[in-house]
Structure 1
Amino acid sequence: MPDTFLDLPVHPLIVHATVVAVPAAALTVATAALWPRFRGRAGLLPLALSVMALVLVPLTVRSGETLADGVDRTDAVRRHIDLGDGLLPWAVVLTLGAAAQFWATRRETRPRNGQRASVSRPLAVALTLFALTGAGGSGLQVARIGHSGADAVWDTRTAPVPQGAAERITR
């Protein structure tokens, strides 16, 4: 993956896709987990959004690590990096929760041998709680990361200065 695109760092560009994909996936998975009618109509949407988020998270982290190599490592930047590293496990749980919900829905709606196979009530509750955990955890973590990133960039007292920025500004 390139470090820059049109002379801009890739991280601020790709992070916007992640900031949209993770909450969209979390909201869709949570809605599907709590609303059976939506779950039946949503089909692959919660799982597809979750997989997209799962793919974007490591790309965002990698581009952030590249960007961090070129800025001062302030406390705000270090906090943002630490929080960013914690999103991948939540994205995995979110995706597994979406996959489990999709599996359960398919099992209940697709007859086998003329019979509908239902998921036991305790399993359905466990799958719902698992999906909600992934949705809540990933949504909260992406909000915390975004807030810390905004602090790192926009707090004029502690914002990192990219290497070579002063020379570009004075040209």
Structure 2
Amino acid sequence: MYSKSAHDPVGPFDFSERHSILINAPPSSILSYVRHYRLSDDALIRPALFLRALPARLLRRAPPPSLELQDFTLLAATDRGLVYGLKGAFWQPDYGLRRFDTSMDFLGDRDASLATLILSFMTGPAPRGRTRLVTQTHILCPTRHVWRRFLPYWLMIRPVSGLMRRRMLSQIKARCEKGS
């Protein structure tokens, strides 16, 4: 089993990313928009999703899914946040995804050949009656082999992933504040 160094800055996870935004809306409204958000609706993100599917197309395979929130397993939902999980070999052209029907199935899975991605959306109070929405992405690689396979993928995808998260937060803010 791969063990992390004692001075790893992201705690138990191998890779992490965090973004936040202030929104003039209550947490319930914000989380409703999060649940229904679709990356593929964003005209600037669609080209990135196309490029991610290019290796599969070049290998004449079916393109991978665009990984909408609906493809993730809902692990927890409260009045302040949502936590989703996804397991796969994300570096493969088809993501090597494993689907789970329940959070218990997801949490009980111990396949050491897959990376685990945890995606959370948490709300909290902010100054002047606003709400802070924070999204965090954490990836756990259970073995050194999985970590070595995931690292090049992370280095390529992280800038795009950050852009996608920031655009997602901005669009959720705009929709919440507009009320549509």
TM-score (norm 1): 0.28
- Flag the structure with higher helix content: 1
- Structure with larger Rg: 1
- Flag the structure with higher strand content: 2
